[in-house]
Amino acid sequence: MNRRNFLSLTGTFTAGSLILPDFLHAFGTQNNLVIGDQCVVFVQLNGGNDGLNTYIPFQDELYYKSRPTIALSKEEVIAGNNGMAFHPSLKDFATMQQNGDLSVIQNVGYANPVRSHFRSQEIWQTAPTNQEYLNQGWLGRYLDFQCNDHEPTAGINIDSIDNLALKGEEPNSITVKDPDRFTTKQTTDNSEQLSGNPQLDFVRKIANSVVEGSDAIQDALKKSTASEVNYTKNGLSKNLEWIARLIKGNLHSKVYYTSMGGFDTHDNQLAIHQNRLKELNDAVFSFYNDLKKAQLLSNVTIVVFSEFGRRVADNGRGTDHGTAAPMFIIGGNNQGKVIGSNPNLSDLDKGDLIHQIDFRSVYASLLEQKLNFSANKIGIKNSPLKGLF
Amino acid sequence: MKNEILWSLRLGFSTEQSKTIEKLGIEGFLKQSFGAPYNTTVPDLLNDSPKTFEDFKAIRKIKKEDPEKSKELIKKESQTLHELKAWWIEQIISNDFPLREKMTLFWHNHFVTSSQKVKVNYWLFQNNQLYREEAFGNFRTLTKKVLQTNAMVRYLDNTDNKKGKSNENLSRELLELFTLGIGNYSEIDIKNGAKGLAGLGLGIDGAKYHPFYEDNDPIEYLGKKGVLKMNEMVDAIFDHPKIPYLLTKKIFQWFIYDQPKEELIHYYGNYFKKVNFEIKPLLVKIFTEEFAKKETAGAKIKNPLEYSLELVDELHIENPNINALVLFLRQQGMDLFNQPNVKGWDGGNSWLTSQIYLQRNNLADLLCNGRNFNRQKSPAENNIPKKQSVTVSLEWNPNENNKEIIKELTDRTLFAVDKSSQEDFEKILKYDFDPKSPGANNAVLRLFNAIVKSPEFQII
C-alpha cells in the first residue's frame, strides 16, 4: 500500500471525497468534519447473539408471550424509546445513544437465512451475492484493491486464528494472537508456558515473535499515548484497548477485527447473556471514551454484529438459532438514529424474524461512506443503507 | 500421529511412504529402499559444461583473451548450477523410495564441497553422484573415495598442499569434521596428515597424487608410523577407538533427534564399528529399534526441504515451480551445493529464525491458496484477480464430522495437538460445519492452512 495515497484518499468530509493538505489536520478536532485516517473496528459476537433480548421490544405483548421464561420485564429494561429498550447490562450503550454516537440498525440479516454457525459466519465474512461459496473475505477483497503491494498491517485481526473476512489475494492483514506480547515484549520471554519438549518450546518462542509488520506495530505503540480511561479487565477490553493504542499511535490500519464468544445461549440464557452483554458494554464504552478523549471518535467506526439472532420463542431456558438481529454502529460520525422498524413478532418465518435490512447494505455504507470505496468493486451489489452516516 | 506417518516423514520428505511402511513393515521398507532404482545418468544440463582438462584449458584461454565471452561463460555456468539444483529436487520428488536421496543429502552435508569455491559444476555433480551411489555403502570406503574427488581437493585447498609448502586444510577437516571430531587427535597429527596428503591434486578422473609435489618421508599419524598415504591414513583413522561416534550422532540428528542422548550414540556407534562401518546394517538397527519405541515424535525441526515438500505432497501439487523452490531453499538457508562453510548446515534450531518462520508461513498461505512458490506480482497485475497457478487438492473424508476431519488432518501433520490448538481448529471447522456443502473443501483447506502454520508442524 502506498501509505500516502491511502491517507489522502480517505481524508474526507462526511460526504464526498476531498484531498486535503496537511495543515487542515488542525480541523480534525472540530465536530462533523472528519479529517485524517478513517478506520472501522469490527466486534463480532460469536455464537448468535439474541437480538430480542439485547435491544428489546418491551411494549410488544407478543414478546412476553413468546418468551415466558427469559423475557426481560418492562421494569428491568433501560432507556426505553419508541417501543424499544436496552438490556440492563447495556446501560452505556444507552448513554452512547443519548450522546448521539450510536445507531441501531434493526432486523439485519439476509434472504434464505442459514442457521448453522459455521455457514452463517462464512456468509457474513465473505458477503456473497446469492450465498455462493467464496474463499476470500469481503474485507480481504477490499484491501487487495486498496493496497498496491502487500501491506501487512492494512488489516489487524486479534484472534488466535486467521479471519476469513480479511483473507484476500495478498496478505494485507495480520493476525495478532496476544496483544500483551507487543506491549511488554521485553519481559514476556520468560513467561512462556513450557511444554517439556525443547524443540517445541523453541519453535513456539519463535512463532510468538513472528508477526509480519510487527515493527510498524511496535512503532505505533511507542508513539501512542497511554489511555486516560480505565478499561475493565476482560478479554474484549484488552483487545479494544490495544486497538485504541494502535489508532492513537497512527498505525493507519483500515480495518480492525476482534470477537468475543459465548453467545450461543441454548441454555441458562438469562445469566450467561447478562454477563456477556456486560463485558461487551464495559469494553466498548471504555474504548469509546478512550477515543473520545483522544478526539478520534469521528475517525473510528465501531461495528457490533453477530452471525444471526435467535428464535423468537424461548425453549424453556434459552433460545435456539434464529435469523435477523440488530447491529450497532458507534462513532465515525454516524447519525445516531434507530434505523428500520421494530421487530415484527406477528409475521414470522418458521418462528424466526424476517430480516428487513440486508447486512451487505450496511457493508456498502461502511465501504462507500467511511472508506471511500465503491462496494460493487468487490461484488457487493446492495446500495448503501441510508441514514447511517 | 501414527508411527508409520512419522517414519515416512523421517525417512523421506512427506507422508507418502506411510502406507508402504505399513504394508512392508519398517524392515521390509528399508530393504526396498536400499534396492530401489535411481538415476545413474549424467543429466543433459551438463552436456555443454566443461569436464576435461582440454575444456578447462580452452576456457582459460577465453578468459585471457575475451573478457566479454568470459562473462557469458560464467553466467552460463551459474545457470547450469541452478539447473543442477532443480535436477536434484526432481530426483528427490520422483523417487518412490526417497531414503537414498535423503541419505545423499546427508553425505552432501557431511562431505561438504560447496560451489562457493568449486566452480566446476561437473565436479559438484560427480560428488553428488558418488554420495548417491555410496549412500548405503561403507563409511571407510566412502571417505577414501571422497579424498579422491577433484571437488574435495579443490574445496579444501589440497591443490595448494605440496611438499615443503603445506596446506593443512584438508588434513584438518578430515579429522575434525569428517571422521573423529575435535579432541581426538593432536596438532601433530594434522601437520603430519598434511604431509601424507601433499601432492594430492586435481586429476582427469578424480584427484590423484602428483609425484613432483608428494612428500614421501615417513610420518607418525594417530599412532601409526611409516610412509602413510591417503588410504593408509584413512585406515589409521578407522582404527581409532572414537571413529564411530561422530557419524552416528550426525545420522541421528539428520533423521531423528536434534539432540540425541549420549548413550544412544554409544550404543549404536559401537554396533557401527562391529559391522565394520557398513551403513545399511547401522540404518536398519537404528531405524527398526527406534521405530519400535513409542512417543519419540517431536524431536527434530524440519529442514526447509522437508517442510516444503511435505506441503507440496499434502496439497497434491502436480506442477510445483521447482526453480522457485530452489530459491526458496536458498532464502531458508538450505541452498543446495552451497553450504555456508565446510561444517555444512547446522540443522536443529538453527533452521529457524523469525524471518525464516515467516517465510514458511507465507509459503503455506500461497500454496493453500493455489498459488505457486513465487509470489512476485508485477505492478501491472495489480488489482487484477490472480489466476490460480496450481491446482491444490487435499485428501479428507466428507463423511466425517468437524472433529473427525480435524483429527484426520492433524494425525498426518502434527506430532501433537494441545488443547488450545484444538480449540482454534474447532473455531475454523465448527460443530455445525457441513462437509457435503459446495464450500466445504475450501473450509477444510483453511483448516489445513492453520494447521501447517502452527509451531507443531515445524517439528517431526
Reported as a single tens digit per residue, the pLDDT across A126-142 is 999 999 999 899 999 99
Residue A120 in any domain: the answer is: yes
The reported pLDDT for the residue numbered B355 is 83
For residue A199, give the nearest of B424, B446, B459 by CB distance: B459
For residue A169, give the nearest of B361, B385, B437 by CB distance: B385
Task: Say yes or no: A170 contacts chain B, CB-CB below 8 A.
Answer: yes
CB B124 within 8 A of CB B151: yes
Residue with cell 548417491: B132
Over residues A245-262, mean pLDDT: 93
Q: Percent of chain A scored above 70 by pLDDT?
A: 86
Over residues A258-284, mean pLDDT: 96
Residue A35 in any domain: the answer is: no
* Beta carbons within 8 Å of A130's beta carbon, 6+ residues apart: none
- pTM of the predicted model as reported, rounded to 2 decimal places: 0.84
The reported pLDDT for the residue numbered A212 is 67
How far separated are the first and last CA of chain A, in Å rounded?
27
Characterize B304-337 residue by residue with b for buried, 16 or more Cβ atoms within 10 angstroms of its Cβ, and e for exposed: bbbbbbbbbbbbebeebbbebbbebbeebbbbbb
The reported pLDDT for the residue numbered A193 is 64
Going by pLDDT thresholds of 50, 70 and 90, the confidence category of residue A13 is: very low
The reported pLDDT for the residue numbered B372 is 78
CATH code assigned at A45: 3.40.720
Which regions in chain B score pLDDT beneath 50? 375, 377-388
Q: Measure the CA–CA gap between B146 and B135, rounded to whole angstroms.
A: 12
Residue A31 in any domain: the answer is: no
Nearest-neighbour CA in chain A from B442: distance (Å): 6
Pairs of CB atoms within 8 A across A/B: 102
* Beta carbons within 8 Å of B389's beta carbon, 6+ residues apart: B321, B370, B371, B372
What does pLDDT average to over chain A?
Answer: 87
The number of folded domains in chain A is 1
3-state secondary structure of A12: strand
Residue A300 in any domain: the answer is: yes
Is there a contact between B439 and A161 if contact means CB atoms under 8 Å apart?
no
B386 contacts in chain A (CB < 8 Å)? 169
The reported pLDDT for the residue numbered A223 is 87
CB A55 within 8 A of CB A106: yes
The strand pair at A84-86 and A78-81 is best described as: antiparallel
Which of B452, B455, B429, B443 lies closest to B367 in space, CA to CA?
A: B452
Query: Measured on CA atoms in the order B345, B351, B355, B361, is the torsion positive or negative?
Result: positive
Better-predicted residue by pLDDT, A209 or A366: A366
Q: Measure the CA–CA gap between A35 and A44, rounded to whole angstroms.
A: 27
For residue A200, give the nearest of B357, B402, B455 by CB distance: B455
For residue A119, give the nearest of B424, B437, B449 by CB distance: B437
Least confident segment among A147-161, A184-198, B312-326, B367-381: A184-198
Q: Which of A125, A210, A215 is best to mutate for the B interface (most B CBs within 10 A)? A: A210
Is there a contact between A200 and B362 if contact means CB atoms under 8 Å apart?
no
Task: Say yes or no: A194 contacts chain B, CB-CB below 8 A.
Answer: no
The reported pLDDT for the residue numbered B31 is 97
A165 contacts in chain B (CB < 8 Å)? none
Residue A386 in any domain: the answer is: no
The strand pair at A173-176 and A155-158 is best described as: parallel
The reported pLDDT for the residue numbered B400 is 96
Is there a contact between B446 and A164 if contact means CB atoms under 8 Å apart?
yes
For residue A160, give the nearest of B420, B445, B456 by CB distance: B420
What is the identity of the amino acid at B331? Q
The reported pLDDT for the residue numbered A178 is 75
Q: Measure the CA–CA gap between A139 and B62, rounded to whole angstroms.
A: 59
Over residues A332-359, mean pLDDT: 97
Q: Measure the CA–CA gap between A39 and A32, rounded to whole angstroms.
A: 16
CA nearest A210 in B: which residue?
B354
* Beta carbons within 8 Å of A271's beta carbon, 6+ residues apart: none
All three cell numbers of A299, joined, read: 475517525
A148 contacts in chain B (CB < 8 Å)? 379, 382
Q: Measure the CA–CA gap between B30 and B300, rounded to whole angstroms.
A: 21
Going by pLDDT thresholds of 50, 70 and 90, the confidence category of residue A218 is: confident
The reported pLDDT for the residue numbered A183 is 54
The reported pLDDT for the residue numbered B374 is 66
Least confident segment among A35-39, A201-205, B98-102, B379-383: B379-383
Nearest-neighbour CA in chain B from A162: distance (Å): 8
Task: Say yes or no: A374 contacts chain B, CB-CB below 8 A.
Answer: no
Q: Measure the CA–CA gap between A388 and B176, rounded to whole angstroms.
A: 75
Residue A115 in any domain: the answer is: yes
Residue A389 in any domain: the answer is: no
Asked whether the predicted pLDDT for residue A225 surpasses 90, the reply is no
Asked whether the predicted pLDDT for residue A15 surpasses 60, the reply is no
Going by pLDDT thresholds of 50, 70 and 90, the confidence category of residue A165 is: very high
Domain of A368, in residue numbers: 3-12+41-378
Asked whether the predicted pLDDT for residue A17 surpasses 70, the reply is no
The reported pLDDT for the residue numbered B353 is 85
Task: Say yes or no: A320 contacts chain B, CB-CB below 8 A.
Answer: no
Q: Measure the CA–CA gap between B358 and B71, rounded to whole angstroms.
A: 36
Is there a contact between A122 and B439 if contact means CB atoms under 8 Å apart?
yes
Task: Say yes or no: A148 contacts chain B, CB-CB below 8 A.
Answer: yes
Q: Measure the CA–CA gap between A83 and A349, rounded to whole angstroms.
A: 22
The CB density around residue B350, as the number of other CB atoms within 10 Å, is 12
Q: Measure the CA–CA gap between A166 and A137, rounded to whole angstroms.
A: 5
Q: Measure the CA–CA gap between B322 and B137, rounded to whole angstroms.
A: 30
Is there a contact between A204 and B259 if contact means CB atoms under 8 Å apart?
no
Residue A194 in any domain: the answer is: yes
Q: Measure the CA–CA gap between B194 and B191, rounded to whole angstroms.
A: 5
